[in-house]
Structure 1
């Protein structure tokens, strides 16, 4: 397994959640690719931690569907499985629909403005062909209503299933993002107008319309 170079080791007091997020992001972003074997010793050396938090993180990643763990044998990055992605996408869509429905009418003007700013960054990233920045801005935009609501059950579900959807999305991201930008604008306008049913429907459609199949 090739280990990325030039990434600084993290502090040895790194929390288990931080180890999990570093490994999760490496898979979602394609640093570790489908079928690649992940060795806990090498990962621990890369991150500058002991093997214990790495092993715990790999178990969490297995429950999210990002890795396949065979106890006593090996752990590999999972293939992009269309049915699994479709199931995760539908759950994620339902969670965003619920969050938007519940928070509309209570979201602050500043949070609405932050969503508009994130959509501006999304549009700029799409125009420049920066897939990573576009997906980061998209993630930021949709996370604002979720965080504002403060429903930890919704956040936990999105934490588990969101990365599987994001990895599939990254693999087939369409750089013609005009339609997505316009959907975001409609969502934000409906939230700002206090139209909870309308905003929730748009939020659901944004996520539910993501293809489950990777390109090619």
Structure 2
């Protein structure tokens, strides 16, 4: 099992959380690839910790559906599943539909500037072939109006869903020649928000997610 080269020694004060988030980040970014075997002793040695926090982290990741085990014989990163995307994406676009309804009266010109900048960074990352930066820019775009919903429960549900969604999106931005369509869809969302047109903004958010799902399925089927 190759360990990412940027692995760093972890301080004991935040050991459990740092171990968990480090391995999670490797999975999300594709540095630990789907179906790659995970050996707790190798991970522990590389991170400079005992096997206990690594095993705890792997159990938490299994609960999130990102890691799977087989009768104590092996542990590995789960496959990227289009079926999972088909279940997750409709929930996300329904919740973002609600988020924009709550956020629209609060969105300022400065917030619009942030969304436009994120969309520009998304376009640049896709053009440069950097799927991780593309995902991060895309996430910032959506988080701008989700945060402005001022609904911590809504944010928490979306945050949990998007742990799984992130890996799907990195895969999508890394393999789709049509990923730039997301930039155009974001532009239409921004226009609707500027016009204070809630129904159009909700329509374009749904189209953005539906389009991403369709394109993800094309990438996965052709891969």
Bucket of the pairwise TM-score, normalised by the shorter protein: 0.7 to 0.9
The partner residue of 2:189 within 180, 187, 190 is 187
Distance 2:20 2:117 in 1: 29
Specify whether residues 37 and 198 from structure 1 end up closer, same or farther in structure 2 by C-alpha distance, changes over 3 A only. Answer: same
Specify whether residues 46 and 99 from structure 1 end up closer, same or farther in structure 2 by C-alpha distance, changes over 3 A only. Answer: farther
Aligned pairs (5 A) from 1:30-179 = 30-70=30-70, 72-173=72-173, 174-179=176-181
Specify whether residues 203 and 10 from structure 1 end up closer, same or farther in structure 2 by C-alpha distance, changes over 3 A only. Answer: farther
8 A contact 1:126–1:175 mirrored in 2: no
Give the CA deviation at 1:72. Answer: 4.0
Instruction: Tell me whether 21-30 or 7-16 shows the greater mean CA deviation.
Output: 7-16
In structure 1, the residue corresponding to 2:75 is in which secondary structure? Answer: strand
Q: CA RMSD in A?
A: 2.4
8 A contact 1:131–1:175 mirrored in 2: no
Instruction: Tell me whether 95-104 or 158-167 shows the greater mean CA deviation.
Output: 158-167
8 A contact 1:14–1:49 mirrored in 2: no
Q: Which has the higher contact order (CA 8 A, sep 6+)?
A: 1
8 A contact 1:64–1:161 mirrored in 2: no
The gaps in structure 2 that reach 5 residues or longer are none
Residue by residue over 1:156-190, the C-alpha shift from the partner in whole angstroms, topping out at 9 and shown as x without a partner, is 32232223233223224324444221111111122
The partner residue of 1:205 within 199, 207, 216 is 207
- Give the corresponding residue for 1:27: 27
Distance 2:16 2:147 in 1: 21
The alignment's TM-score, normalised by the length of structure 1, stands at 0.85
8 A contact 2:19–2:57 mirrored in 1: yes
Give the CA deviation at 1:15. Answer: 6.1
Give the CA deviation at 1:99. Answer: 1.2
The alignment's TM-score, normalised by the length of structure 2, stands at 0.83
Which structure features the higher share of helix residues? Answer: 2
In structure 2, the residue corresponding to 1:75 is in which secondary structure? Answer: strand
Distance 1:192 1:15 in 2: 45
Specify whether residues 49 and 97 from structure 1 end up closer, same or farther in structure 2 by C-alpha distance, changes over 3 A only. Answer: farther
Specify whether residues 43 and 100 from structure 1 end up closer, same or farther in structure 2 by C-alpha distance, changes over 3 A only. Answer: farther
In structure 2, the residue corresponding to 1:14 is in which secondary structure? Answer: helix
Give the CA deviation at 1:114. Answer: 0.6
The gaps in structure 1 that reach 5 residues or longer are none
Distance 1:36 1:177 in 2: 26
Distance 2:34 2:90 in 1: 22
